[in-house]
Amino acid sequence: MKVLAIVLAGGEGKRLMPLTADRAKPAVPFGGIYRLIDFVLSNLANANYLQIVVLTQYKNHSLDRHISRTWRLSSMLGNYVTPVPAQQRLGPRWFAGSADALFQNLNLIYDELPDHVIVFGADHIYRMDPRQMVEQHIDSGADVTVAAIRQPLQLADQFGVIETDPAGRRIVAFREKPKDAVGLADAPDQVYASMGNYVFRTQSLIEALREDALDPGSKHDLGGNIIPMFVKSGGAEVYDFAHNVVPGSTERDRGYWRDVGTLDAFYDAHMDLISVHPVFNLYNDRWPIYTGQDPLPPAKFVHNDGDRIGHALESLVSPGVIVSGGTALRSILSPGVVLHSHSHVEDSVLMGCVKVGRGAIVRRAIIDKNVVIPDGARIGFDLDYDRQRFTVTDSGVVVIGKNEIVER
C-alpha cells in the first residue's frame, strides 16, 4: 500500500503570541534545539513514511527555511519533505480551513496516487509510530481512522470528543467540546479526545473534499465537517493512542501527548523535559527526534571562585551555551545563550542567543531569541510591572518576544 503523508502547518498560532509574531506556529523553537514541526516529521520518518508534504500559510519563511535546510531526504529514492505554501490555485484567497487546504492541494495527491493519505498536525509534542495506526486502518477497511487520546471525563469540554459504538471502534459521534460527554465503556471516567491525526482511504477523502467544497455553509474543517460526513456514513473508526508502542519508550513516557497551543501549555511541556526521569524523554535513541543544528561548540561552564560559580542543575543545556559564573536551575538554555556572573535563571525557557547580564534574575519566564536582559534586571518577581512591559500568562509566566528591548 502506497501512503502519502500531509502535514498541516498553516496555523497562525495567535494564542502563542508573541512567540508567533514573526514565525509560523510549527516553526516555534522547542526543547532547546528543536522546532515544533520536528516532532511530527520525526514520527513519520522513523516509521519510514518518506513522502511528506507540509502545507504552510502564515509567516512561513522560517518554517520553509528550517525544512529545506534540515529535512533533505534522498530524491534519488523518491523521498522528500516538501513545504508547499498557499498557492491560491482556485482563486485569490487563503485556505478557509484545514479541509480547504487539502482541497486546494488535491493536485499533490493526484501526482502521487497513494492508496492512503496520512494527515497529521504540526504542533504537538509526542512520539508515535504511525505504522500501527495505518495497519489498523487498512485492516478495518474504514474510510477514515481518527487517532484519539484518553482524557479525563471532566476535561471533555476542552476537546473534540469521539463517541464510539459498544465495541469501541466505530465512531458514532464527533462532538466539539461537549458539556454532557459520556465516559468510555471500559473506562467511564475517560473520553476519547481527537489528536488531530487522521488516515484516509484516498478516494474517500477526495470525494468528501469535493462535496465539502460545494457546501456554502461549511467551515471547511476536517474535524468539524469532513469527519462528521464519514461518521454519518458509518465509515469512521477510532485509533486508541494508548495501544501505540514506540520502540525505546518506557511506562513513564508512553502515551505522552501535549497540545502546546497556549503559552502556559508550551511552558508546561518544557518543564516535562527536565526531571531526572522526564515525563517526555528526549534521550530515546531508538526513536530519535531529528533536527538541524548550526556548527556550534560544546557548552561551557566557567568560574569557580567563591559564590561566582558557573553551573546548571536539572536543566537542558544546548551547544554554544556559556554559563560564565551564573546559575541555571530547572531551565532550558537554547544554543548561544550566555549567563554572566552572578546571574540566576530558574524555571525558565531561554531561546537562542539570549544574554542574561551580571546579577540579573529571571524566574518563570519564556524569553525568545536575541533578547538581552540587562545587568541587575529582575524578571518574574513583580508581575504587575511585568504586565506593563511584556506578556504574562494566566499562571504567571512572563513571556518576552523576539528581539524585544528590556529595560532594567
Q: What is the pLDDT of residues 262-276, one digit of tens each?
A: 999 999 999 999 988
Calculate the CA 221 to chain-centre distance.
19
Bridge partner list, 259? 124
Element holding 100 (H helix, E strand): helix 98-103
**177 marked as part of a ligand binding site:** yes
18 cis-preceded (ω within 30 degrees of 0): yes
pLDDT at 131: 98
On average, the pLDDT of the chain sits at 94
Q: Is the pLDDT of residue 92 over 70?
A: no
Q: Which three cell numbers stand for residue 337?
A: 545563550
Q: Which three cell numbers stand for residue 367?
A: 524569553
pLDDT at 272: 95
pLDDT at 304: 93
Q: Are 213 and 220 in contact (CB under 8 A)?
A: yes
Element holding 10 (H helix, E strand): none
**217 marked as part of a ligand binding site:** no
Q: In percent, how much of the chain has pLDDT > 90? A: 84
Q: Are 2 and 138 in contact (CB under 8 A)?
A: no
**Lowest-pLDDT range, 168-182, 231-245, 324-338?**
168-182
Instruction: Tell me whether strands 322-324 and 300-302 are parallel, antiparallel or unpaired.
Output: parallel
Q: Which of 205, 19, 178, 4 is nearest to 99 (CA)?
A: 205
**160 marked as part of a ligand binding site:** yes
Give every CB contact of residue 121 below 8 A, 6+ residues apart in sequence. 7, 8, 40, 195, 196, 197
Q: What is the pLDDT of residues 35-61, one digit of tens each?
A: 999 999 999 999 999 999 999 988 889
pLDDT at 11: 76
pLDDT at 116: 98
pLDDT at 45: 97
Q: What is the pLDDT of residues 284-315, one digit of tens each?
A: 999 999 999 899 999 999 999 988 999 999 99
Mean pLDDT of 5-22: 91
pLDDT at 94: 72
Q: What is the pLDDT of residues 308-333, one digit of tens each?
A: 999 999 999 999 999 999 999 999 99
Mean pLDDT of 344-355: 98
Q: What is the pLDDT of residues 235-257, one digit of tens each?
A: 999 999 999 999 999 888 899 99
Structural domains of the chain ordered from first start? 3-274 (3.90.550.10), 300-400 (2.160.10.10)
Q: Are 58 and 17 in contact (CB under 8 A)?
A: no
Element holding 287 (H helix, E strand): none
Give every CB contact of residue 358 below 8 A, 6+ residues apart in sequence. 340, 341, 342, 343, 375, 376
pLDDT at 300: 98
d(CA 377, CA 271) in angstroms, rounded, equals 23
Q: Is the pLDDT of residue 177 over 90?
A: no
> From residue 404, how far is each of 26, 233, 354, 391, 399 by CA, in Å?
21, 52, 11, 12, 10
Residue 86's CB is within 10 A of a number of other CB atoms, namely 18
pLDDT at 91: 67
Give every CB contact of residue 90 below 8 A, 6+ residues apart in sequence. 103, 104
Q: In percent, how much of the chain has pLDDT > 70? A: 99
d(CA 224, CA 239) in angstroms, rounded, equals 18
d(CA 331, CA 345) in angstroms, rounded, equals 7
